[in-house]
Amino acid sequence: MIRVLVVEDSPVVREFLIHILSSDPEIQVIGTASDGEEAIEAVKHKKPDVITMDINMPKMNGLDATRRIMETHPTPIVIVSGIWDNREVETTFRAMEAGALAGVQRPMGIGHPDHEVTARELVQTVKLMSEVKVVRRWVRPQRPEPATAAPPSTEVELKRIPSEIRIVAIGASTGGPIVLQTILSGLPKDFPVPLLIVQHIAHGFTRGLVEWLAQSTAFRVHIAVDGEYLLPGHAYVAPSGFQMKVEVGNRIALSKDEPEGGLRPSVSYLFRSVAKVFGQNAVGVLLTGMGKDGAEELKLMREKGAVTIAQDKGSSVIYGMPGEAIRLDAATYVLPPDKIATVLSGMINKTRKEVNYECRGKV
């Protein structure tokens, strides 16, 4: 039985969430709290397996409560958000920085056409997060400015790589936002190739994710636009509800093509197009997440000569996607997030030097 603490200041919403969670026979709501201070006390005495956390509350908000809980009684926390303004979405991602594992949309009301889908997403997320082992978070120092150049790796030996890398494609799901932040923070501002990102995330979170990544990493991050030309040093995130691929001519194509494995955007859809258009001149990166999205297509990229990277088990919130890629022998490298950034910078610098050397040799 999964023991859940519901933290929500609205009595009506609180009862609504209890109703949805209690409808699953594997979940037991063991208590509630109406603000962050009550939540901290309830965690101390009731020791829940998972907490659903509201953001905007009196006395102490969800962000500060998350920080305190992760510093004192580490517990899997799911942010449940019902107001889609930029401020609340940004605060949700700051709560993830503090240790929350995921953010989901508050389920739609009974009778709404999306009620069942959104209710099921909440229940599934709570059940999934109950299996994650979290660790104590100490007070986090102020984030340093992003480096102007990533240092060369002394711990990861660069294997044979293509003579020219022209694109990096990244796929992520549960736990992905913090990993993306780590990777983008570790890349130099003058990173000379574009990045394409598919991040599975709750509807309504994509714009907030992009703005949070841009602000917290100083990297140029955008929501992808159909027909947009890919620029070096820019990261393009697939918009919610669209499949994203690349086409010949270095342009993004968005479509309403069918979901793959129930997912739109799908990592598999993106990776397949990158393998076709860029072949050996690409890097594919598969990060933390549930399921198998992108694993077979990462192997396809490797077979086409691309460099492929899977996140390691120790740093993954959920090891499904990268674990499947490793099982398929799809990964050239298996690395934690900070080493992924270092290796990407090292490979790009190496290929850029080789291209410059070849050009000088031809003069």
Q: Let me know if residue 134 belongs to a domain.
A: no
Same domain? For 106 and 174 the reply is: no
What is the tens place of the pLDDT at every residue in 177-209?
999 999 999 999 889 999 999 999 988 889 989
Report the range of poorest mean pLDDT among 7-16, 24-33, 186-195, 353-362. Answer: 353-362
Same domain? For 221 and 88 the reply is: no
CATH number at residue 254: 3.40.50.180
Question: How many residues comprise the chain?
Answer: 363
Please identify, among 114, 129, 144, the residue that sits at the C-terminal boundary of a domain: 129
Q: Let me know if residue 147 belongs to a domain.
A: no
Same domain? For 220 and 337 the reply is: yes
Q: What is the pLDDT of residue 202?
A: 85
Q: Let me know if residue 339 belongs to a domain.
A: yes
Q: What is the pLDDT of residue 88?
A: 77
- Residues 14-49, buried b or exposed e (16+ Cβ, 10 A)? bebbbebbeebeebebbbbbbbbbbbbebbeeeebb
Same domain? For 262 and 198 the reply is: yes
Same domain? For 294 and 348 the reply is: yes
**Torsion, Cα of 292, 293, 299, 305 (10° steps):** -160
CATH number at residue 57: 3.40.50.2300
Q: Let me know if residue 99 belongs to a domain.
A: yes
pLDDT band at 153 (very low <50, low <70, confident <90, very high): very low
Same domain? For 236 and 115 the reply is: no
Q: Both tokens of residue 164?
A: 């020219």
CA distance 37 to 15: 20
Same domain? For 46 and 111 the reply is: yes
Q: Let me know if residue 154 belongs to a domain.
A: no
Q: Domain of 298?
A: 167-362
CA distance 137 to 128: 21
Residues labelled catalytic = 173, 200, 293
Please, are residues 69 and 39 in contact by the beta-carbon 8 Å criterion? yes
pLDDT band at 85 (very low <50, low <70, confident <90, very high): low
Radius of gyration, CA atoms only, the chain: 21
Same domain? For 336 and 243 the reply is: yes
What is the tens place of the pLDDT at every residue in 276-314?
999 999 999 999 999 999 999 999 999 999 999 999 999
Question: What Cα–Cα distance (Å) separates residue 55 from each residue in 83, 85, 167, 273?
Answer: 10, 12, 37, 38
Q: Let me know if residue 47 belongs to a domain.
A: yes
Name residue 312's amino acid.
D
Please identify, among 129, 156, 177, the residue that sits at the C-terminal boundary of a domain: 129
Find the mean pLDDT for residues 152-167. 69
Q: Let me know if residue 215 belongs to a domain.
A: yes
Same domain? For 109 and 177 the reply is: no
Same domain? For 221 and 93 the reply is: no
Q: What is the pLDDT of residue 84?
A: 63
Same domain? For 86 and 216 the reply is: no
Given a cut of 90, is residue 48 above it in pLDDT?
Answer: yes
More confident residue, 357 or 334: 334
Compute CA 236 distance to the chain's CA centroid, rounded to the nearest angstrom: 14
Same domain? For 187 and 293 the reply is: yes
Q: What is the pLDDT of residue 361?
A: 39
Q: Let me know if residue 138 belongs to a domain.
A: no
Q: What is the pLDDT of residue 258?
A: 96
Q: Name residue 244's beta-bridge partners.
A: 254
CA distance 321 to 331: 12
Q: What is the pLDDT of residue 160?
A: 61
Please identify, among 129, 150, 183, the residue that sits at the C-terminal boundary of a domain: 129
> What domain count does the chain have?
2
Please, are residues 50 and 2 in contact by the beta-carbon 8 Å criterion? yes
Q: Both tokens of residue 52?
A: 């659903």
Q: Which residues contact 217 (CB under 8 A, 6 or more apart)?
A: 146, 181, 184, 185
Given a cut of 50, is residue 363 above it in pLDDT?
Answer: no
Report the range of poorest mean pLDDT among 45-59, 94-108, 113-127, 134-148. Answer: 134-148
